[in-house]
Amino acid sequence: MALYEGEIEVFSETVEHPRDELAAFPTVIAQYAYRRAAVDALLAGHGMADMPLAAVAGRGGLLPPMPGGAWRITPAMLETLEQARYGEHPCNLGAPLAHDYAARWGVAAYIVDPPVTDEMDEVARISGLPALPRRSVFHALSQRSAARRAAELLGVDYAANRWLVAHMGGGISVAAHRCGRIVDVINALDGDGPIAPERTGRLPSLGVLSLVQDGTYTFEQLRRIILREGGMWAHCGTNDLRVLERRMDGTSRCDKDGTSCCGGDGTSRCDKDGTPRCDKDGTPRCDKDGTSCCGGDGTSRCDKDGTPRCDKDGTPRCDKDGTSRCDKDGTATSGTDGEGGTPPDAHAALVFEAVAYTVAKEIASLAPALLDGGSGTGCGEPVADAAACPPRIAGVVLTGGMARSARLTERLRQRLQWLAPVVVLPEVEEMHALASGVLRVLRGQETPGDYI
């Protein structure tokens, strides 16, 4: 959530919800009151519960295909999202939240560049089965914002160049941006794309059918795995790239269920009852005074005097019984060279390399979409004015939370720099993109669409 005064950010803060708490809700829309309470608390904490606003913008949601830009939030849009007609996703809550806060202040509410932004070439919609045309569903807001920022850094015009962009988060989407239009998309929500933290990515079709036919999974079970329990989670029991990298380096300790002491879902695995004990940055905080701990009863079990002991990277060390692994002198055991330390995890390293490889492969696969013509069919027509949009790739842009991993972005740079300069923008500028979209409307520079 963020508050802007014009182009200036007043504050921006991320509220993370533990995976196990969200799992208690049967549907995304059922999370509304839970998430609204978090927003109310955040506004109150910043002393802004009653601050007058000019407009409110929300991210999302899964709607029928529509062009990019700003759209007014209407009752018809809210009904579509509430019924999840086009799919379940947390972004479906963006418009309802924005609408209700806008009603409080008596102002208009908008969405900007929703994930169903559809500017695809007609040829890109064709799949091998007429009944299953390809859809445009991706991180449109994040991608377009990152591409515009990359253009600024390279000193060129976004709309007069061609870009390959990947948003890398819990799901990973890749798109080809050609001369201001997003002409092809690898849609992770439909099961396409690379191996991701929670999503399987592309799978062999007949193998998937066999898993249902032989009763290994029901349809709903397999759907959940493909979208929420696949990828890194299925291979390694974590959806946190930081945890995977610690295991690669041999600096992680695991509980008896195989999860990290500070789990991939952001919850601590130290306490006997599994109570979440982590800060937003993943640092465990178990003791009442905010110090790190590993003990089964929630207290530190490292030094004889109760002082917490962690590895150099700040990771606490837990034994199978939930207590801290300590040396005889009461100090914490090193992850790599101390007695009982965990050796580097070869399987974790292999999965990491597979993630990097499949992301690079999907990005490179969209290069042909950038070289087609500008008529919208994508069938190879020459660009009307090649000088206005040169037929070359201006940049490969990496954004999203996973772009904070120097190891991952370096792997991708090695595999993709032959295509174009690789620009890494780990700080997703979605809040600024939302604010900018609404400002264009308020300043009369853009006319918003009306969802009916």
> Residue 292: which of 279, 275, 273 has the closest Cα?
279
Q: Compute the average pLDDT of residues 353-377.
A: 86
Distance from C-alpha of 261 to C-alpha of 293, rounded to nearest angstrom: 10
Taking each helix axis from N to C terminus, what angle separates 346-365 and 241-249, rounded to the nearest 10 degrees? 130
Predicted local confidence at residue 372, as pLDDT: 65
Residue predicted with more confidence, 336 or 417: 417
The answer to whether the bond into 61 is cis (omega within 30° of 0) is yes
In the structure encoding, which two tokens stand for residue 172, read together? 């990973």
Mean pLDDT of the chain: 80
Instruction: Indicate the pTM of the whole model.
Output: 0.73
In the structure encoding, which two tokens stand for residue 336, read together? 């790599």
The percent of residues in the chain predicted with pLDDT above 90, rounded, is 58
- Write the pLDDT tens digit of every residue in 251-308: 754 443 444 444 333 333 333 333 333 433 434 443 333 333 333 333 333 333 333 4
Q: If pLDDT is split at 50, 70 and 90, which confidence band does 203 have?
A: very high
- Write the pLDDT tens digit of every residue in 393-433: 999 999 999 999 999 999 999 999 999 999 999 876 788 88
Distance from C-alpha of 318 to C-alpha of 309, rounded to nearest angstrom: 11
Residue predicted with more confidence, 130 or 10: 130
Cβ–Cβ < 8 Å for 134, 183: no
Distance from C-alpha of 254 to C-alpha of 261, rounded to nearest angstrom: 6
Q: Compute the average pLDDT of residues 94-111.
A: 94
Partners of 110 in beta bridges: 57, 72
Euclidean distance between the first and the last CA atom of the chain, given in angstroms as a whole number: 27
Amino acid, single-letter form, for residue 227: L
Which of these ranges, 100-109, 172-181, 306-315, 379-388, has the smallest mean pLDDT?
306-315
Highest mean predicted confidence (pLDDT) among 284-298, 317-331, 350-364, 368-382 = 350-364
Predicted local confidence at residue 305, as pLDDT: 38
- Write the pLDDT tens digit of every residue in 213-252: 999 999 999 999 999 899 999 999 999 999 999 999 987 5
Q: If pLDDT is split at 50, 70 and 90, which confidence band does 310 have?
A: very low
What superfamily does domain 119-197+346-420 belong to in CATH?
ATPase, nucleotide binding domain (3.30.420.40)
Dmax over CA atoms of the chain, in Å, equals 76
- Write the pLDDT tens digit of every residue in 8-54: 998 888 888 887 898 899 999 999 999 999 999 988 888 877 778 99
Which phi and psi (to 5°) does residue 364 adopt?
Answer: -65, -30
Q: If pLDDT is split at 50, 70 and 90, which confidence band does 7 have?
A: confident
Angstrom distances, CA of residue 276 to CA of 245, 261, 431: 22, 11, 28
Any idea what DSSP says for residue 122? Answer: G
Partners of 425 in beta bridges: 399
pLDDT at 383 over 70: no
Q: Compute the average pLDDT of residues 121-140.
A: 94
CATH number of 1-116+429-452: 3.30.420.40
Distance from C-alpha of 145 to C-alpha of 118, rounded to nearest angstrom: 16
Q: Indicate the domain borders of the chain.
A: 1-116+429-452, 119-197+346-420, 251-343
Spatial neighbors of 220 by CB under 8 A, at least 6 apart, are: none
Distance from C-alpha of 143 to C-alpha of 302, rounded to nearest angstrom: 45
Q: If pLDDT is split at 50, 70 and 90, which confidence band does 60 have?
A: confident
Same fold, 1-116+429-452 and 119-197+346-420: yes
Spatial neighbors of 104 by CB under 8 A, at least 6 apart, are: none
Burial 120-155 (b: 16+ CB within 10 A, else e): bbeebeeeeeeeeebbbbbbbbbbbbbbbbbbeebe
Q: Compute the average pLDDT of residues 91-108.
A: 94
Predicted local confidence at residue 302, as pLDDT: 35
